[in-house]
Amino acid sequence: MNKVAQVLGMSPMRVYEVATFYTMFNTVPIGKYNVQVCTTTPCMLRGAYDILRACEEESGAHCGGDSPDGLFHVMEVECLGACANAPMMQINDDCYEDLTPERAKLVLKSFRDGKPHKPGPQNARKNSMGIMGKTTLMEEPPAPYCREL
């Protein structure tokens, strides 16, 4: 961080402020799999704290720390932009959505077993479509309005 400050020609404190504020920066080494559980309002209303507890139980890590085997780092984060599929968590670069405590534990177990589950919704739905499939915007869109014709 001191080197970054030097290269950018700014006070080291400015770099420390950024590095300690944003959760995507870590100032110390963390577990191999960074489990970030979103607890912002939409996810919280859908049981995010139950997901967080399930991740702590399955990994053996306390929120903000690593598991004893060094495999998992569990943390609480703000909105990760998958609110329509709440509750969700991100593990390294992938999102796991539509979680229940049981599904969250299965996802962590799959990482421990070396065969990570496919990212995305962990129920039957596709992307952020309703569970019953596509129900709107099915027709061909009308041609754009053109006042010259």
Binding site residues, ligand FES, CB under 6 A: 38, 40, 42-43, 79-83, 86, 88
Output the known binding site: 38, 43, 79, 83
Least Å from the CB of residue 36 to ligand FES = 10
- Per-residue tokens: 131: 């569970």
Q: Which segments within the chain are labelled E, that is strand? A: 33-38, 65-66, 72-77, 89-91, 94-97, 120-121
Rounded CA-CA distance 93/34 in Å is 9
* Cβ within 8 Å of residue 114, ≥6 positions away: none
If the CB atoms of residues 47 and 65 are measured against ligand FES, the closer one turns out to be 47
Output the known binding site for [2Fe-2S] cluster: 38, 43, 79, 83
If the CB atoms of residues 15 and 80 are measured against ligand FES, the closer one turns out to be 80
Least Å from the CB of residue 38 to ligand FES = 3
